[in-house]
């Protein structure tokens, strides 16, 4: 992990190859961005052909410079960079942004150059951002170290000091990162810092994230990620962000096959396993977004609004239709609109005409808008105990609509500990956006986006509480010392016992006669299963026959399986047939990025077709186990009412927690572990593992 202290707020900056051509050249655009962005430190342009650039004294070379720049910005061709890093080290500068492309992202041809760059970084101990980065923009401190046209430095965004917290944008694609910035600034969202990390030969996205979550001014971090280079750190970072009330929002690209084709040629990323990311984001309270506007809807509330512990919303609207639309969207987002108490409704009726509504949503009507109906309604509703957040539906397209009520709005938003937001059904005018921004009130132009953002701020707090209360129960997980590389169902009997998972009565048989004796002891009907460690999926290989009712059936099945599998030495398992129930799959898989993951899903032979599965990093406690079960859509209806449920929920949760701890304590040993099916029965009844499979890492790997 790199120490980024002051990287984004340098005292002085050298621009290597600086140019006065601010239109075409990256080296010129960086100069104008620094100047127009209002950078307050010293700027040292380095260029042998100029004595002055944009009013800054220029130097022929780094050698000529009689000062030690705090940060260097480099936009020369890739091949020259290793030498420049040496020159920087010589004068004591150990931080640099490299805009230049032509390294890992180009493919085979540039591998040599890439190695040279890495060697120079290591040799000269330089912390770099890039290469192939669009730079960074420290909006809060006016350091525009970027050539992005998106920052529009001629007309910089308002820095919303003193109200709310800041958004930090971190992106592995510079174009997308600065486009998110542009959209955020336009919406009046208070952006503190934008960083494009490029090829990440030095600073990674997680380095920046790790640093900014310590900043008290930060309320939200939005990331565009193709691959986390060091994902094992994510757990710790995400937990800390949660504790500090900072929401992390991630767009993780590269889910589809086609996007993987593109990623290889893009930032030299190998795109990680999406199910693993999904599971990790869910476990850590990271919001996964799919669109830019969705990201910014969340960023708007997390940078402006106080957190809330409740999900009850009061809605004030000038339009009956708008009120209904937002009420529907809030209900879809599982927010609750309590019907207001008679006393509150009576107070509202003082200025709401008869054809308006006072119950919630409140339709103040256009008539009452003119007599301060909006702010009067808000001032009344904000006091209601059964209201946790407030939304105003308005039309904000005409200019200067809020000038009159602005002082009261500002006062209300500052004093209230409840989120207050505006949602405009017309396109909001820039002036109104700005006035609401001054009040610390975010504005939405989408009903659905508004409802989802309010849900997210409630969910953030709920997740934090759950996380704070979560205990990992003490459980001594089994050791795997005596296991082979691959293991059959019968080999696992002892393991199941230690994991407190029940199995049907069963016996091992090597011959038909042994099988018949076993079946007589167990009682018909029985299942017959070959125990060959090389056969992971018995059904597909013809290594299993079920519901054998008598000796004749058993003899025929013994022969069938022997023929199907050409079996010579492996024994058979004769097992009591389990009653019908609900089949699920439990598993442990090892992900290259995140280590062992616990898997749970709808089970049976069609698990690959149904694909109703969910993952979680390990270990987990009971609350997280329950959440994980809720993410399996086939299980969800069975979890709604535990008293009526068809399954034994508490035992299942315990099994998940134990299995997760087992996975955690054998994280280098288990390659693959699967119980499929684990058959679930009614409440109070023990689940039965009907088939299983364990593959361990070779000792070399362990």
How far are the Cα atoms of 501, 511, 555, 635 from residue 549, in angstroms, in the given order?
26, 18, 11, 32
Q: Which of residues 588-617 bind a copy of itself (CB under 8 A)?
A: 602, 606, 609-610, 612
Dihedral, CA of residue 194, residue 197, residue 198 and residue 199, to nearest 10: 180
CB of 149 to a copy of itself, least distance (A): 6
Where does this chain touch a copy of itself (CB under 8 A) — which range of 439-447, 455-463, 526-534, 621-629? 439-447
Residue from 9, 275, 434, 446 that binds a copy of itself (CB under 8 A)?
Answer: 446
Q: Which of residues 284-323 bind a copy of itself (CB under 8 A)?
A: 290-294, 315, 318-323
Residue from 31, 96, 101, 600 that binds a copy of itself (CB under 8 A)?
Answer: 101
Sign of the C-alpha dihedral computed for residues 210, 212, 214 and 218 taken in this order: negative
Q: For residues 257 and 468, which CB has a smaller minimum distance to a copy of itself in the complex?
A: 257
> Cβ(621)–Cβ(660) under 8 Å?
no
Size of the site for a copy of itself (CB under 8 A): 88
> Cβ(651)–Cβ(687) under 8 Å?
yes
CA distance 431 to 412: 20
DSSP 449: H
Interaction mask 209-228, a copy of itself, x per CB under 8 A: ---------------x-x--
Q: Does 545 bind a copy of itself (CB under 8 A)?
A: no
CA distance 519 to 691: 18
Terminal-to-terminal C-alpha distance of the chain: 25
CB of 516 to a copy of itself, least distance (A): 27
CA angle 80, 81, 84 (to 5 degrees): 95
Element (H, E) at 590: strand 582-591
Q: Which of residues 165-204 bind a copy of itself (CB under 8 A)?
A: 171-173, 175-176, 179, 182-183, 186
CB of 208 to a copy of itself, least distance (A): 17
CB of 640 to a copy of itself, least distance (A): 6
Interaction mask 1-40, a copy of itself, x per CB under 8 A: ----------------------------------------
> Tokens 């329950």 map to which residue?
626
Q: Which of residues 388-427 bind a copy of itself (CB under 8 A)?
A: 395, 397-398, 425-427
Q: Is 576 helix (H, G, I), strand (E, B) or coil?
A: strand
Give DSSP secondary structure letters for 130-142.
-SS--EEEETTTT
Q: Which of residues 334-363 bind a copy of itself (CB under 8 A)?
A: 337, 339, 354-357, 359-361, 363
Where does this chain touch a copy of itself (CB under 8 A) — which range of 137-145, 296-304, 329-337, 481-489? 329-337
Residues contacting residue 114 through CB under 8 Å, at least 6 positions apart = 103, 104, 201
CB of 178 to a copy of itself, least distance (A): 8
> Cβ(424)–Cβ(392) under 8 Å?
no
Q: Helices marked H in 581-699 — which ranges?
A: 607-610, 622-630, 636-639, 649-665
Q: Does 488 bind a copy of itself (CB under 8 A)?
A: no
Q: Which of residues 620-659 bind a copy of itself (CB under 8 A)?
A: 633-634, 637, 640-641, 644, 646
Q: Which of residues 564-593 bind a copy of itself (CB under 8 A)?
A: 580
Q: Does 263 bind a copy of itself (CB under 8 A)?
A: yes
Q: Does 254 bind a copy of itself (CB under 8 A)?
A: yes
């Amino acid at each position: 992990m790199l120490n980024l202290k002051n990287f984004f707020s340098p005292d002085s900056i050298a621009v290597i190859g600086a140019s006065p051509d601010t239109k075409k050249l990256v080296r010129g655009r960086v100069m104008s961005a620094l100047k127009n962005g209002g950078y307050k430190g010293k700027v040292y342009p380095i260029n042998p052909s100029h004595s002055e650039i944009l009013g800054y004294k220029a130097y022929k070379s780094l050698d000529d410079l009689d000062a030690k720049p705090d940060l260097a910005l480099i936009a020369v061709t890739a091949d020259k960079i290793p030498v420049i890093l040496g020159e920087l080290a010589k004068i004591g500068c150990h931080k640099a942004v490299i805009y230049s492309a032509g390294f890992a992202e180009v493919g085979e041809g540039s591998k040599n150059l890439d190695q040279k760059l890495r060697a120079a970084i290591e040799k000269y101990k330089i912390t770099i951002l890039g290469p192939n980065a669009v730079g960074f923009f420290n909006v809060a401190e006016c350091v525009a170290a970027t050539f992005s046209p998106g920052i529009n430095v001629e007309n910089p965004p308002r820095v919303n000091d003193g109200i709310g917290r800041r958004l930090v944008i971190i992106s592995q694609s510079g174009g997308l990162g600065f486009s998110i910035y542009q959209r955020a600034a336009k919406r009046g969202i208070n952006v503190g810092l934008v960083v494009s990390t490029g090829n990440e030969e030095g600073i990674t996205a997680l380095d920046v994230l790790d640093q900014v979550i310590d900043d008290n001014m930060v309320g939200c971090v939005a990331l565009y990620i193709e691959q986390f280079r060091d994902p094992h750190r994510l757990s710790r970072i995400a937990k800390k962000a949660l504790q500090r009330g900072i929401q992390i929002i991630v767009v993780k690209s590269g889910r589809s096959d086609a996007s993987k084709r593109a990623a290889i040629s893009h930032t030299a990323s190998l795109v990680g396993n999406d199910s693993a990311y999904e599971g990790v984001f869910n476990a850590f309270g990271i919001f996964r977004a799919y669109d830019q506007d969705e990201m910014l809807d969340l960023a708007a509330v997390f940078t402006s609004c106080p957190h809330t512990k409740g999900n009850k919303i009061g809605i004030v609207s000038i339009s009956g239709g708008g009120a209904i639309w937002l009420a529907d969207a809030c209900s879809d987002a599982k927010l609750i609109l309590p019907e207001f108490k008679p006393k509150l409704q009576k107070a509202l009726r003082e200025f709401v005409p008869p054809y308006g509504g006072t119950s919630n949503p409140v339709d103040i009507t256009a008539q009452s808008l003119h007599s301060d109906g909006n702010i009067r309604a808000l001032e009344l509703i904000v006091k209601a105990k059964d209201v946790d957040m407030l939304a105003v539906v308005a039309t904000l397209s005409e200019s200067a609509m809020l000038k009159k009520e602005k002082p009261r709005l500002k006062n209300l938003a500052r004093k209230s500990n409840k989120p207050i937001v505006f949602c405009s059904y017309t396109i909001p005018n820039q002036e109104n956006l700005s006035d609401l921004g001054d009040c610390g009130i975010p504005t939405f132009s989408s009903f659905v986006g508004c409802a989802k953002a309010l849900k997210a701020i409630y969910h953030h707090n709920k997740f934090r509480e759950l996380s704070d209360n979560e205990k990992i129960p003490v459980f001594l997980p089994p050791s795997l010392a005596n296991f082979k590389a691959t293991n059959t169902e019968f080999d696992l009997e002892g393991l199941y016992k230690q994991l407190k998972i029940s199995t049907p009565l069963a016996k091992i048989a090597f011959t038909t006669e042994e099988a018949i004796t076993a079946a007589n002891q167990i009682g018909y009907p029985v299942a017959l299963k070959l125990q060959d460690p090389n056969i992971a999926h018995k059904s597909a290989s013809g290594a299993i026959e079920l519901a054998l009712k008598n000796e004749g059936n058993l003899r025929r099945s013994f022969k069938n399986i022997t023929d199907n599998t050409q079996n010579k030495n492996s024994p058979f398992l004769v097992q009591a047939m389990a009653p019908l129930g609900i089949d699920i799959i439990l598993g442990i898989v090892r992900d290259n990025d995140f280590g062992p993951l616990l898997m749970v899903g709808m089970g049976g032979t069609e698990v690959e077709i149904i694909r109703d599965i969910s993952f979680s990093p390990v270990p987990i406690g009971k609350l997280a186990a329950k959440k994980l079960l809720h993410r399996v859509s086939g299980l969800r209806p069975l979890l709604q009412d535990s008293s009526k449920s068809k399954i034994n929920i508490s035992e299942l949760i315990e099994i998940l927690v134990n299995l997760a701890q087992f996975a955690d304590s054998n994280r280098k040993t288990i390659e693959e572990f699967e119980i499929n099916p684990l058959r679930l029965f009614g409440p109070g009844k023990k689940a039965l593992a009907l088939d299983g499979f364990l593959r361990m890492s070779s000792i070399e790997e362990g």
